[in-house]
Structure 1
Amino acid sequence: MTRREHKANSGTTHLSGYQLMWMLVTFDLPVETKRQRAAASKFRLALLDLGFEMSQLSNYLRFCNGKEQFEAYVRKIEAQLPESGDVYIFQFTDRQYENIVRFSDQGRRAQKKNPTQMVLF
């Protein structure tokens, strides 16, 4: 059954875990001067304002409902880039997110459950 047939039959759209995406923004920004520290803080706050969640000090995560939304956030991040430093943006599917291996305090932790997503259209 195609997605269009599924939508016609059920009245809702089924979103695949392979189409839903996560963004990981990781960065290494200089913080040697007061101006650089201010720019790094401003960039972190901009990510939070865009709905990202801090995973670690220089790693921020956000859920996206597809490639178009991912690209829109890339453009928003680009508009907030500080003058210097490195910023990397990774994308991975919701299914790949489920398989992340996590260690904490020298022990393997249970896989995180993906947040429940609502379809509102």
Structure 2
Amino acid sequence: MDERYYSRLNQYRSLWVLVFFDLPTETRKDRKIAAKFRKQLLDDGFAMFQFSIYMRFCASRENAEVHIRRTKINLPPKGKVGIMSITDKQFGMMEVFYGTKPKEKEAPPQQLELF
């Protein structure tokens, strides 16, 4: 098959999982719980997009579900957490700005396939 077909297919098959959260930080215990949640996301391969938005590239829906399940297991007892999955194609259409200047688009991550 044509390489463009696989490239286009992968843009719709691969997903980005985004985790949005607003956690309480009034007490020392709250701050410790929030820091632990962030660390668990980083340990699971998420990267910080903004302070309370983390994202992770997943090569397939099945892989995304694994990371979504792990995030749900680690949910803190208080606060608001949202989990959203979008296709690589949708993620690539996002516009990011620093002030009024657009940020250069980054190259998509390399996919590793094991047979």
- Identity level (%): 40
Determine the structure 2 residue equivalent to 1:85. 79
User: Residue type matched to 2:31 in 1?
Assistant: R
Q: Which has the larger radius of gyration?
A: 1
Q: Which has the higher contact order (CA 8 A, sep 6+)?
A: 2
Report whether the alignment pairs 1:41 with 2:35. Answer: yes
Within 5 Å, which residues of 2 pair with 1:1-121? 14=6, 16-121=10-115
Check the 8 A contact 1:97/1:114 in 2, yes or no. Answer: no
Query: For the residues of structure 2 that align with 1:56 and 1:97, how far apart are their CA atoms?
Result: 15
In angstroms, what is the RMSD of aligned CA positions?
A: 1.4
**Which consecutive residues of structure 2, in runs of 5 or more, have no partner in the other structure?**
none
CA distance in structure 2 between the aligned counterparts of 1:109 and 1:65, rounded to whole angstroms: 25
TM-score by length of 2: 0.87
Q: C-alpha separation between the residues in 2 aligned to 1:20 and 1:41?
A: 29
Q: Which runs of 5+ in 1 are unaligned?
A: 1-5, 7-13
**Structure 1 residue 111, shift from structure 2 partner:** 2.2
